[in-house]
Amino acid sequence: MTREELLKSISVDPKICFGRPCVRGTRIWVSLILDNLADGVPESELFAAYPQLTSDDIRAALAYAAETTRERVIPFGAEPVRP
């Protein structure tokens, strides 16, 4: 699956989950997937907790996160870089 196809798997709809990015056709937030992966939760546990998730859905969440970080940088607990 291409990056563009993966990104089509993510939806943002103000009527679903307060407009938070979700895996299309579910109410599973992209941030939930990313938080779990960052915490070291294995994909197998995600699949057990959310049986509708697929490997491509996880890849789509990662692709979406990569795209959003290209747009802007949000300082997060780091000291500003001084010239």
Of residues 22 and 1, the one with the higher pLDDT is: 22
Question: Distance between CA 65 and CA 16 in Å, rounded?
Answer: 19
Residue 78 one-letter amino acid: A
Angstrom CA distances, 56 to 15, 24, 62, 65, 67, stand at 24, 12, 10, 14, 16
The stretch 76-82 carries a mean pLDDT of 60
Tell me the per-residue pLDDT of 36-70, one tens digit each, with 9 for 90 and over.
999 999 999 999 999 999 999 999 999 999 998 88
Q: What is the pLDDT of residues 18-33, one digit of tens each?
A: 989 999 999 999 999 9
Please tell me the class of the 3-70 domain: mainly alpha
* pTM (2 d.p.): 0.81
